[in-house]
Amino acid sequence: MSNNNLQEFIKEKTKNALKLKGKHSPLSERVNGDYKQLDIKRIYKINEQKKEFFLIISKNYKKNPKYRYFLVSVLANVSSDLLVEIAKDFALKNNIKLIQYTLYLKTRRINLLGLKELKNQDDYQKSLEVLQSFKINFLTRLEAIKNMIKN
């Protein structure tokens, strides 16, 4: 599957999506012990799924491919270290990146996000399913902790 097919697929998916406005801060990732920045080109809210799913298009720090695409699920609207600890196990097992990032610039809230990188068109549906199960797992674990505290 070529990168052009993925770009055309992304173009089709974002046709009816809501674009988040504003200049977003870059994402960083660790590569061989160094931190590399991925400048954000666009962020879209995806309408076809349940709420709180986004698509991030970032510029790659390498020349090829020029852009990288991430499917994103918002796990919590206000993040904390406790919430990261709750989500960490599932994320590691399923190769999901956890980040604390502000999606809506005016609110200044730092969201807890699960990112799954799309490398080809087939990854899209699989990634959606994994992120949905991640969100369900996270909320279930959070509810169990809440019930333990009540009792």
Identify the pLDDT of residue 3: 65
Convert the pLDDT of each residue in 114-132 to its tens digit. Answer: 999 999 888 888 999 999 9
> For residue 53, with 0-12 CB atoms within 10 Å meaning exposed, 13-18 middle and 19 or more buried, which class applies?
buried
Tell me what the pLDDT averaged over the chain comes to.
88
Domains (range + CATH), the chain = 3-150 (3.30.1460)
**Is the full-model pTM beyond 0.85?**
yes
Q: Which residues contact 132 (CB under 8 A, 6 or more apart)?
A: 49, 50, 73
Identify the pLDDT of residue 69: 93
Average pLDDT rounded to a whole number, residues 80-97: 92
